[in-house]
Amino acid sequence: MTTRETHDYDVLVIGAGGAGLRAAIEASAAGAKVGVICKSLLGKAHTVMAEGGVAAALAHVDPKDSWKVHFRDTMLGGKLLNHWRMAQLHAQEAPERVRELERWGAVFDRTQDGRILQRNFGGHSAPRLAHVGDRTGLEMIRTLQDEGVHRGFDVFMECTVTKLLKSDGRVVGCFAYRRENGLAAGVAVPVDAVTASGSGLDPDISVANARLQAARVAATRGMNIDQVLALVNQNTTGRTWGFLGEPGVNVLELNLALDGK
């Protein structure tokens, strides 16, 4: 039985929310062979839940709005703790990102004269949010997925990344497991070509999750997660779920349990 699969890509994007899909589209457009991994179903990311809209100083409703005002609002909203350069790029590039979404098929609400409508939102000193009723995120994801599908990148759904693989301190791939069957998957990319996206991916935090630890043990032993869990269960007289309830469970414990110690 095959218990491990491997894949090679020029660029690997971890996460298929707005950030990940947009990155994957850009990499595909540059001619790279791109793989996208998401731990849930494609389209099921936080991005799809965004209701308020996309902040971009298009100045369609308030002509005095500009990227500089947006930048100021963003820095003040972050109590000046924000990375100012990121906030600047965000404010400067947001209008073009919204126009780009429109070119790719997003249908935003309109002003009386047919331009993209903008509305007020907390922290913004001007009506700045381009929106689609209360389902802006859904329209964003739908649009980015449609564009991405035409670009032709591969998507690994329900595939959870548990470890970024490094060589000489540089990320060169990742290790993941398939939620459906626990099958381990290694994805390799050239040095410097990994894009990590989404807000939740932190391998050091992820390893606190016992199921992810089991996936690692499974990979090193050529097994799948369910086999590991079943064997640990046998060797620890039903303590597996005790293990799995513990955020601190580690690979060593699982290995010792597997070895019957």
Neighbour tally for 170: CB within 10 Å: 12
38 belongs to the binding site for ligand FAD (CB under 6 A): yes
Residue 160 near ligand FAD by CB under 6 A: yes
Kindly list the distances between the CA atom of residue 156 and the CA atoms of 36, 37, 173, in Å, as whole numbers in the listed order.
6, 5, 14
- Which tokens is 54 given? 């996309």
Minimum CB separation of residue 191 from ligand FAD in Å reads 21
CA angle at 247 for the pair 241 and 248, rounded to the nearest 5°: 105
For β-strands 154-156 and 34-37, DSSP reports them as parallel
From 27-35, 184-192, 196-204, 228-236, span contacting ligand FAD (CB under 6 A): 196-204
Q: Which residues are registered as beta bridge partners of 188?
A: 8, 173
Q: Any contact of residue 47 with ligand FAD (CB under 6 A)? A: yes
Closest CA to 252 of 211, 202, 225, 217: 217
Given a contact cutoff of 8 angstroms between Cβ atoms, the answer to whether 157 and 163 are in contact is no
Q: Does 52 bind ligand FAD (CB under 6 A)?
A: yes
Out of 117, 161, 249, 254, the only residue in the binding site for ligand FAD (CB under 6 A) is: 161
Min dist CB 261 to ligand FAD, Å, is: 30
Stretch that binds ligand FAD, among 3-11, 77-85, 86-94, 200-208 (CB under 6 A): 200-208
Q: Cβ 7 to ligand FAD, closest distance in Å?
A: 14
Q: Least CB distance from residue 239 to ligand FAD, whole Å?
A: 26
> Which position among 13, 18, 71, 117 is part of the footprint of ligand FAD (CB under 6 A)?
18
Residue 87: CB minimum distance to ligand FAD, A: 13
Residue nearest to ligand FAD (CB): 17
182 binds ligand FAD (CB under 6 A): no
> The dihedral of CA 135, 137, 140, 145: what is its sign?
negative
List binders of ligand FAD among 127-146 (CB under 6 A): 137
The verdict on 35 binding ligand FAD (CB under 6 A) reads no
The closest of 166, 192, 185 to 10, measured between CA atoms, is 192
Nearer to ligand FAD, 32 or 174 (CB): 174
User: Measured on CA atoms in the order 193, 194, 197, 202, is the torsion positive or negative?
Assistant: negative
Among 32, 39, 217, 258, binds ligand FAD (CB under 6 A): 39
CA gap 15, 21 in Å, rounded: 8
